[in-house]
Amino acid sequence: MPKVYALNFRLAIFIVAASFLVLQTSQRCLAEEPNDPLTLIVMDPLAAPLSCPCVEGYAQRDYAVFGKHLETALGRKVKVIFGESLPTALEKANGKADIVIGKQSVVRADAKLAKRRMTAISQLTDLKGDTQQYGMIVVNKEDPAKVVADLAGYTIIFGPAEADEKHSAAIELLEAASVRIPVDRQKFDNACSDGACKVIDLGPKSKTAAVISSYAQPLLEGCGTIKKGDLRVVGKTAPVPFVTVFVADALDAPTRAKLATALIDAAVHPALLDALESLAGFIPMQTKSAVAKKK
């Protein structure tokens, strides 16, 4: 056989073999993909494992039911991991996070810290159909302050910087009332109960106020952390986004599309709405307004 023909023959054999290998690899990947579990990280402060069962029908969101809903819709296993922060949850999830649901400002901050590229796609409505929350500035019930402007010269205890309602939104409210904000601010890094209890413990003459989340007030009173009436609200911040669904930018487009449909479809499943303590399920991010509250 002439050398040129022998060379072409060997080249043809190589191309066929390579094509067969690529085809096998592609088929194997396609066969394995549906069996590859997705990881759902839940940081929602009203999720049952991250809250307390003190108030009946509140802050006991069952994300196991939501995980099953996603499994049915996506045709894949969904592993649900709970964590108060994304770095903590990532340790439990072996570094995997396909879907993250939690307080919007906190997820954004944590994703940046963890160097994870994620996109917000939907917001969860609460039992009133709202998707927002706000911060509340509270003082001791016997404190003389009545409005935000009265807090000039007070020590104000903020929440962590990543929690908009307890930090940036509260600063905007105070600045609008011409209350000077010290550069070195006191803050509590965990539960709203820390700041609330400190205000009570220091007494009405201490000139101390704290910023807490609106969703936390029922829990503070319901769990007996504070007695009803121990604190008085002197100001509320502008609303900020609350529980939001994020998806990893690395997740494939077909799965992202199925997920978006599954979130919208949640609205027609009463048992799922009950489990999530939600009036209307999830609202896509491009929707400008939440479901109207009942008057």
The mean per-residue pLDDT over the stretch 87-97 comes to 97
Q: Are residues 179 and 140 in the same domain?
A: yes
Average pLDDT value over all residues in the chain: 87
109 and 251 within one domain:
yes
Q: For position 28, what pLDDT does the model report?
A: 39
Shared domain check, 193 and 109? no
pLDDT tens-place string over residues 59-69:
999 999 999 99
Are residues 250 and 106 located together in one domain of the fold?
A: yes
98 falls within a domain = yes
Question: Are 109 and 254 found together in one domain?
Answer: yes
Segment 192-223, tens digit of pLDDT: 778 889 999 999 999 999 999 999 989 998 88
Tell me the per-residue pLDDT of 13-54, one tens digit each, with 9 for 90 and over. 344 334 443 334 344 333 335 568 999 999 999 999 999 888
Total number of domains in the chain: 2
Domain annotation covers residue 290: no
Shared-domain flag, residues 160 and 232: yes
- Indicate whether 127 and 249 sit together in one domain: yes
Residues 135-176 have pLDDT tens digits of 999 999 999 999 999 999 999 999 999 999 999 999 999 999
Same domain, 259 and 275: yes
Asked whether residue 289 is domain-assigned, the answer is no
Residues 189 and 250 in one domain: no
Residue 5 in any domain: the answer is no
45 falls within a domain: yes
Confidence at residue 189, expressed as pLDDT on a 0 to 100 scale = 65
Q: Are residues 178 and 224 in the same domain?
A: yes
Q: Is 266 inside any structural domain?
A: yes
For residue 16, is it within any domain? no
Report if residue 21 sits inside a domain. Answer: no
Same domain, 55 and 107: yes
Q: Name, in order, each residue with C-beta under 8 angstroms of 166's C-beta and a sequence gap of 6 or more.
A: 135, 158, 159, 160, 192, 211, 212, 213
Task: Show the domain range for 274.
Answer: 36-131+242-284
Same domain, 66 and 149: no
- 114 pLDDT exceeds 50? yes
The pLDDT of residue 193 is: 79
Question: For residue 201, what is the domain's CATH number?
Answer: 3.40.190.10
